A and B are shown apart, each in its own frame.
Chain A
Amino acid sequence: MNERSERPWLVALASLPGMGPARLAIVLDGRSPEEAWAHVRDGAERVPEHVAARWRERSAVVDVGSLWQAHVDAGVRVLRPGDEGWPAALDDDPEPPALLFARGEPAVAVEGVRVAIIGTRRCSYSGRQVARDLGHELSAAGISVVSGLALGIDGAAHVGALTGGTAPVGVVATGLDVVYPRRHRELWDAIGAKGLLLSEYPLGVWPERWRFPARNRIIAALSDVVVVVESHAVGGSMHTVESALERGRLVMAVPGSVRSPSSAGTNALLAAGSPPARDATDVLVALGLDPEVQHRIAPPAPDGEAGSVLEAVGWEPATLEQIADRIGAPLGPVAVHLADLEGTGWVRQQAGWYERVR
């Protein structure tokens, strides 16, 4: 039996519930994938009994041939270590995936320089802006942006990266046909069309909690530098950071306000010695690349009273009352200036809180 024809059984094995690379290694252990499949159907050994039972149940209803055909029809490539298109960065990984499912151009994950831009889903608006700008500038500098397509920072980084010109990489924790989060469908499709979508899981696999940290390790492994834009003190981004440090990747953090809870994690990283990433230039310098970044041209800042109101907004979310108190002015004129600044895109208001955008 040749190596190619084993893939349908490998895909079927990977589609079993609770199947990760470690368990796959256990069931393969000297067997061919087809033998391993039969082994699972009879009740796998060396795995907990309830897992073996679920596998037995599931494998009885999976049609290996049609599952494989679904991947062929969907244009999803199935990569094994050593294949053309298998990311070399995963070769010496401590926990390499056994299989990768890819849509788009796999070369992106093999050649060139890749930078991960990650962060919390519960981010501030300015954090989202920073992620978008970083994504755009790095992409424009010829760097492929890697992220997880989550809400918040991840998605914003990808939105920026799509406009920069270099193909981005999205690593997801579900089957490539299960868009999660749903509202990122357009972004998901755009990455698949212009860059590369990667997953460790076959089609039809639903999001489960444990798959996200597993996905994060692939993001870390694929990237030369990991930039954390905003993170709470505890959270998924910090897991990615741990994975990156285990793999010897450089972790950079975007400095934030010391009072902002969504910057608590990034500021802690800085305190622990991560280099700061104030903009794309910092990242390029850390990569040893030419730091000639095409910054987006900012319009001149407003002056006069509007300028002092903008000054008073500062770089942390503030309420109308706080802003008026800072410059000791009555509410009315300050509200006028804020409305103007919002109209011209200098500040943004949400639920009564003003944030400076640029």
Chain B
Amino acid sequence: MLATVPSAVLHGVDGRPVRVEVHVSNGLPGFTVVGLPDTACRESRDRVRAALLSSSLPWPMRKVTVNLAPSGVRKQGAGLDLAIAVGVLAANGDVPADAVARCGFIGELGLDGTVRAVGGTVPLVDALGAPAVVVAADAAVEAGLVGRHRVHAVRTLAEAVLALRGDEPWPDPPPAPPILPLPPGPDLADVRGQRVARLALELSAAGGHHLLLVGPPGAGKTMLASRLPGLLPDLGDVEALESTRVHSAAGLALPPGGLVRRPPYRAPHHGASAVSLVGGGSSWLRPGEISLATNGVLFLDELGEFPGSVLDALRQPLEEGVIRVCRARGAAVFPARVLLVAATNPCPCGQGGPPGSCRCSDDARARYARRLTGPLVDRFDLRVDVARPDPGELLAGPPGESSAEVAARVARAREIAGTRGVRCNADLPSPLLDELAPLAPGAVRLLDVALRTGSLSGRGLHRCRRVARTIADLAGREGLVSEEDVALALQLRAEPSTMGAAA
């Protein structure tokens, strides 16, 4: 007697459909699982048997063979438990085989027969072709995000069996938890003074320009960076689902309502390994921090302390927006479209503010600058020097503009960028710059001087023009990019020539 049950396993951040084939025949009683299961998967034999017995369901005293098709693909995780249990029952004739074949099953079984949610429910459900899906009650909201399936949420195996036999209706879905508004993130109004840094933050949010903050400890670099996600608009449907899939696959808690609507903010410590940042792992290809931050902000504090090899690993994904992780056992593609924000001290002693105040030796400073001027610096469009704020301003200065006000301008600027056929100005292709970001005569003059004196490189020129376009967009100036826009963009450029710590 044979039964086939649709289910899915996780591969990277994508689900792959798996057909669980169960065959029950005469012979010595036994239970084997074939089709490249990993340890957690193989152990499902014991969980499934115990769950059936605890649920007072019959266990066939015959030979049971389970094949996970396609058998050439490695399966990992406990999400196939429910499908195997239902398959055994169907093959034994305890539930109707046709009811089972029209429905996908995803869930882990407890020894007492409870059905538990597994990580990656969103991509797993997405991979199922069946019109309905049975998941754990805890995973009902996540499973509903895909939107193509009828979602049946069950708490126990027994509930699922009763419903499949038609003895009882599918249990009501658990009441959706009330969607409370997210606690507001840190607000830009808390930042006093720092006009230039605020401007850079706004430009970064509006134009998608990667931002490098340089300043002594205590200048407020981390404080500024943590306010960047609050300036970004909500994610669109496609982006939200993409981020949700990654977060779900990584087993992160999803926000109430299930969908990741706010841009994620990830700030890995500088001790992070290359694999934890870009993704990978030997038994299971996990998404890294850069993928978890996709459509949001990746903040690297103390950039100079990250090992060079780790930073180098970020270059290709930053360029392409995706990362291909390849291992002997397989390859996976993860999304990696982030807004990169990094912070660093100007020199090892951290005191390098105005020229002449740093206590580092020339060698130490040169070594530090070399680490920072590596190829990764090429990715930054904006560099801003954050000075320690004036104490008077901290205590008595007026609060700055709130995040909401700035976010409104950012949203408008992003709309304008959308009319140019790009997501944001950082993506403007260089051949189109003359058409999309034409320069006023004064602006040409300033760029000419900067190029002649060698303080601006050819590559820097394009970046400078994109940033100037964003400045003009934020100010509501369409058409020509003005002299002032370019002057500010030059001021905020991140060139190797502007990277040397003040001597």
B385's closest neighbor in chain A, by CB? A352
Instruction: Select the stretch in A32-40, A121-129, A166-174, A267-275 that faces chain B.
Output: A121-129
A183's closest neighbor in chain B, by CB? B362
For B490, list chain A residues within 8 Å (CB). 335, 339
Q: What 1/0 mask marks residues of chain B from 476 to 501 whose CB sits below 8 Å from any chain A CB?
A: 00000001110110110000001111
Q: Contact check, A335 vs B362: say whether CB atoms are below 8 A apart.
A: no
Select which of A123, A319, A336 is within 8 A of B385 by beta carbon: A319
The A262-309 residues at the B interface (CB cut-off 8 A) are: 262-263
Q: How many Å from the CB of B256 to the closest CB on chain A?
A: 40
Q: How many residues of B sit at the interface, in one of the four size bands?
A: 35 or more
For A260, list chain B residues within 8 Å (CB). 354, 356-357
- Known: A260-B354, A355-B355. Is A339-B449 also a contact (CB below 8 A)? yes
Q: How many Å from the CB of A353 to the closest CB on chain B?
A: 5
Q: Contact check, A350 vs B485: say whether CB atoms are below 8 A apart.
A: no
Rounded to whole angstroms, the CA-CA distance of A39 and B352 in the bound complex is: 52
Select which of A124, A322, A324, A336 is within 8 A of B355 by beta carbon: A124
Q: What 1/0 mask marks residues of chain B from 271 to 311 whose CB sits below 8 Å from any chain A CB?
A: 00000000000000000000000000000000000000000
Instruction: Select the stretch in B123-131, B194-202, B247-255, B420-428 that faces chain A.
Output: B194-202
Rounded to whole angstroms, the CA-CA distance of A127 and B355 in the bound complex is: 10
Q: Contact check, B488 vs A351: say whether CB atoms are below 8 A apart.
A: no
Rounded to whole angstroms, the CA-CA distance of A324 and B195 in the bound complex is: 10
Residue B442 is within 8 A (CB to CB) of chain A in the complex: yes
Residue A245 is within 8 A (CB to CB) of chain B in the complex: no
- Known: A335-B484, A335-B487. Is A350-B355 also a contact (CB below 8 A)? yes
Rounded to whole angstroms, the CA-CA distance of A324 and B499 in the bound complex is: 23
Residue B358 is within 8 A (CB to CB) of chain A in the complex: yes
Q: Contact check, B195 vs A321: say whether CB atoms are below 8 A apart.
A: yes
Q: How many Å from the CB of A286 to the closest CB on chain B?
A: 26
Q: Contact check, A333 vs B484: say whether CB atoms are below 8 A apart.
A: yes
Residue B411 is within 8 A (CB to CB) of chain A in the complex: no
Q: Contact check, B356 vs A261: say whether CB atoms are below 8 A apart.
A: yes
Q: How many Å from the CB of B498 to the closest CB on chain A?
A: 7
Residue A137 is within 8 A (CB to CB) of chain B in the complex: no
Q: How many residues of A sit at the interface, in one of the four size bands?
A: 35 or more
Q: Contact check, B355 vs A125: say whether CB atoms are below 8 A apart.
A: yes
Q: How many Å from the CB of B440 to the closest CB on chain A?
A: 11
Rounded to whole angstroms, the CA-CA distance of A263 and B357 in the bound complex is: 10
Select which of B199, B446, B453, B502 is within 8 A of A353 by beta carbon: B502
Q: How many Å from the CB of A305 to the closest CB on chain B?
A: 13
For A181, list chain B residues within 8 Å (CB). 362
B452's closest neighbor in chain A, by CB? A343
Q: Contact check, B214 vs A351: say whether CB atoms are below 8 A apart.
A: yes
Residue A317 is within 8 A (CB to CB) of chain B in the complex: yes
For A317, list chain B residues within 8 Å (CB). 354-356, 502
For B355, list chain A residues within 8 Å (CB). 124-125, 262, 317, 350-351, 353, 355
- Known: A151-B362, A350-B502, A351-B214. Is A331-B196 also a contact (CB below 8 A)? yes
Residue B377 is within 8 A (CB to CB) of chain A in the complex: no
- List, sorted by A's number, 30 A–B pairs whose CB atoms are closer than 8 Å: A122-B359, A123-B356, A124-B354, A125-B355, A230-B356, A260-B356, A260-B357, A261-B356, A262-B356, A318-B354, A319-B196, A319-B387, A320-B196, A321-B195, A325-B195, A331-B199, A332-B484, A332-B488, A336-B483, A338-B487, A338-B491, A339-B446, A350-B502, A351-B352, A351-B499, A351-B501, A352-B214, A352-B385, A352-B498, A353-B385
Q: Which 5 A-B pairs have the closest CB atoms?
A: A352-B385, A332-B484, A262-B356, A335-B487, A317-B354
Q: Which residues of chain B have a CB within 8 Å of any CB of chain A?
A: 193-196, 199, 214, 346, 352-359, 362, 384-385, 387, 442, 446, 449-450, 453, 471, 483-485, 487-488, 490-491, 498-503
Q: Which residues of chain A have a CB within 8 Å of any CB of chain B?
A: 121-125, 127, 151, 181, 230, 260-263, 316-322, 324-325, 331-333, 335-336, 338-340, 342-343, 350-353, 355
